[in-house]
Structure 1
Amino acid sequence: MSDDYNSKYKSINHSHSAITLDDEGTHFDSLSKPAAETDFWEETALGLVGQAGDNDVLLWAAGYFLSGNGKGIWGEGITAEREIQLIVVPRAQRGTMSDNNFLRVGWTPSERLSTDQVKVSRDDERVIWDFDGLRFEAAPPNLALKGEAGGAHFDLTYEQNGTPLWNWGPFANAAQSDRAGYDAFVTASGTIKLPEQTLELINAYGVREHILTGQMNDPVKNLPAPNWMWWLYTIEGDVKVNFFQINDQMQLGFVKYGEHEQVNISSQNEEEKIRFVVTEKWEDPRTGMNLPVKWRLDMERAGCKVAVDIAAHGRAYSHWPTAHGTRMYCYLLSTMTGTVDLPDGRTIELKEHLTVNSFCRTILTATESTTGSAAQRPV
């Protein structure tokens, strides 16, 4: 098992393996060290972007099991988090960023859940992760988000669209690789009831994510400031575009199309082209950050070419406090305009196509000194 964080991404091996009901349960007990002796982070999540009336909507909903029994990265003992980031902004604002309200749940100390507030159950048809009333239901290839959090009531159904990206490896290999899991693209529909309105979503799309990481995934140590981790995706018909910047030195792209076709693109290979550039920033009055809000993405390999401009028109964010520092996790409701050329001869034209973009970065290391930062628990 390599200690090199980047090496895990240099050696991604994809498969078209179907997601099974066994995959949808918890897997932290399969790590090389028992839960009582290691840090781990296991996530179940559903995200979407879509339209509801005159509004554009972005939702990130996730539940996490956390352990700080190794280096104490995630606090003491085994606990849990549920997270909601919900953006609702008028569709007329596309292409222009302005201050927007958003719903956020989770990651403040008072919101941390104890394990007796979380229940994972299974029958012959489905697995349910229930985070104090916010329920993630999985019956592959069908999924659902039900229940309430932060005053929002969710009744959403999802259906897997194509084969998953097993970027993190199969759960059966978690003990060897210290990580496992997948991302799958999905279509979505249903309702989100807020105190002031009900959002009716039809033909939305998004991602289903289930990821496990172990002792070696210390996000502050592996991704120190000023590195940015970016993650974006968009879907148009059978075409799915995914860009992942691990850190400032490593970028990966994945273009899926047809039934099983997939092109992988990496900045580590000289014959492949991948470039992600910030083209405009906006002074966020809420965070005080000079926040990136427009980008250019170019990716090219083996007859596949992505050439798009991306613009954000809404944002939401959370802070992830760990024993070694604080990360900022920000979602950006965006649009994508440009073209995707495919090896099968098709050109997909996108115009203000709804897109999810997000970043995660360290904004404070716990041990700061006049000689520099150290990713360790303060003495």
Structure 2
Amino acid sequence: MYHVGGKVWGIADGIIQQTNLIITPSDHRTISNNEFVGNRIGPTDESANFQVVQESDRVIWKTGNRRITCRLPYWELKGEHMGVDLDLTIGGIGDSIPYHGPWTDLPVKSLAGNEHLCWASGSFTYQGKKYTLDEGWAVRERTCLGKGWDVLTLLGHSTGYIWRWCFSESVKVFCFAEPEANHFLGRVWSGDQVLGYGPGQITVEPLERWKDPMTDVTIPIKWKIRMESDAANVEMNVATWSRALYGFHLAKGYTTHYCVLGRTNGSVVFSDGRNVPMDDCQTYFETAKATVLPKG
């Protein structure tokens, strides 16, 4: 859910929903024109009946048929949007990551936001079929998109960004990179350790590209990512093969976001010599760029 408003959005104040869904067999390892659920996010897509209900131990966001209940450190996601009916619970693991900056900086920088690594359980229903999630991973993101919620200005860089998570029992890795803005942030979870990385410590190299027949756009589908610090060096080879799309459509232009699923192989080598392998780890990868167009 996005709580937005102002001139760039074309609505005074409202909620716009987003749902993406990719269902891919685990043995599918070749990029193709797969089916997916995705939607545009713009002023013509404002959701109805928006409410924020504050109770003594929880906050509930309601809009359309969806409801998100925040009862820290748990979140419940229920209801239907874009044909996907959720009944999920996610629980926070450790502390959140202020990858867009701490909330205390919001009045000065007009930008703040965090990620929170979570476990997930429950179910969802799509096209009459119920899918059960027993031991899943999740990420809860909360971000203020800057002054006026102007997401195009935030992404108005020629290089765009990557936003990537890798999940396994032994290690989890988060990496965000927006090279032209020199905005880099990484985290590694291994055992009871959490390691941080920033500008000058992260390199992202696309290795292979694919021309999407749906959009006629060529996107990277394989990557090499390195994260280096005195505490540990991380090297990851990422391959992706199932994609979805969404985008923000605003007064100043639009953004195009590619969400892809895949696997990561690599390792985390600690300064004390320990080597934690990443073998076929579940991976979510997102890339995006903005196209700014003047109003006619």
| TM-score, length-scaled by structure 2 | 0.91
* Per-residue Cα deviation, 1:1-32 (whole angstroms, up to 9, x for no partner): xxxxxxxxxxxxxxxxxxxxxxxxxxxxxxxx
Distance (whole Å) between structure 2 residues aligned to residue 108 and residue 303 of structure 1: 43
Secondary structure, aligned partner of 1:168: coil
1:84 is aligned to 19
- Show structure 1 runs of 5+ residues with no match: 1-62, 368-377
- Pick which of 169-178 and 329-338 moved more: 169-178
Deviations 1:10-63 (A, max 9, x none): xxxxxxxxxxxxxxxxxxxxxxxxxxxxxxxxxxxxxxxxxxxxxxxxxxxxx0
Q: Secondary structure at the match of 2:259?
A: strand
Structure 2 distance, partners of 1:122, 1:216, is 24
Query: Offset of 1:217 from its aligned partner?
Result: 6.2
Q: Is the CA contact (8 Å cut-off) linking 2:234 and 2:267 kept in structure 1? A: yes
8 Å Cα contact 2:40/2:248 also seen in 1: no
Alpha-carbon offset, residue 147 of structure 1: 0.8
SS of residue paired to 2:108: helix
Residue 132 of structure 1 pairs with residue 64 of structure 2: yes
Q: Which amino acid aligns with 2:33?
A: D
- What is the Cα deviation at residue 91 of structure 1? 1.0
Contact kept in structure 2, 1:229 and 1:247, CA below 8 Å: yes
Asked whether the 8 Å contact 1:87–1:103 carries over to 2, the reply is yes
Mapped contact 1:153–1:193 kept (Cα < 8 A): yes
1:169–1:281 CA distance, 2 compared to 1 (3 A): closer
Instruction: Provide the identity percentage.
Output: 26
Distance 1:130 1:344 in 2: 49
The one-letter code sitting in structure 2 at the alignment partner of 1:175 is P
Contact 2:187 2:194 in 1 (8 A): no
> Match for residue 374 of structure 1?
none
SS of residue matched to 1:355:
strand
- Measured in 1, the distance between the counterparts of 2:238 and 2:144 equals 30
In the TM superposition, what are the counterparts of 1:269-284 in structure 2 within 5 Å? 272=201, 274-284=202-212
Match of residue 54, structure 2, among 114, 122, 131? 122
SS in 1 for 2:100: coil
Aligned partner of 1:154 among 86, 89, 110:
86
For 1:183 and 1:343, the matched residues in 2 are separated by 26
2:226–2:236 CA contact under 8 A, matched in 1? yes
Q: Could you state the TM-score of these two structures normalised by the residue count of structure 1?
A: 0.72
Aligned to 1:58: none
Q: Pick one of 253, 260, 264 that aligns with 2:186.
A: 253
CA deviation map 1:130-169 (0-9, x unaligned)? 1212111111111111111122211111111111112334
Aligned to 1:38: none
Q: Secondary structure at the match of 1:104?
A: coil
**Partner amino acid for 1:366?**
L
RMSD: 2.1
Q: Is contact 1:220-1:327 (8 Å) kept?
A: yes
CA distance in 1, matches of 2:148, 2:51: 26
Match of 2:249 among 309, 316, 321: 321
Q: Pick from 214, 222, 228 the counterpart of residue 160 of structure 2.
A: 228
Structure 2 unaligned regions, length at least 5 = none
SS of the equivalent of 1:221 reads helix
Give the Å deviation of 1:353: 1.0
Distance (whole Å) between structure 2 residues aligned to residue 133 and residue 365 of structure 1: 32
Measure the CA separation in 1 of the matches of 2:127 and 2:194: 43
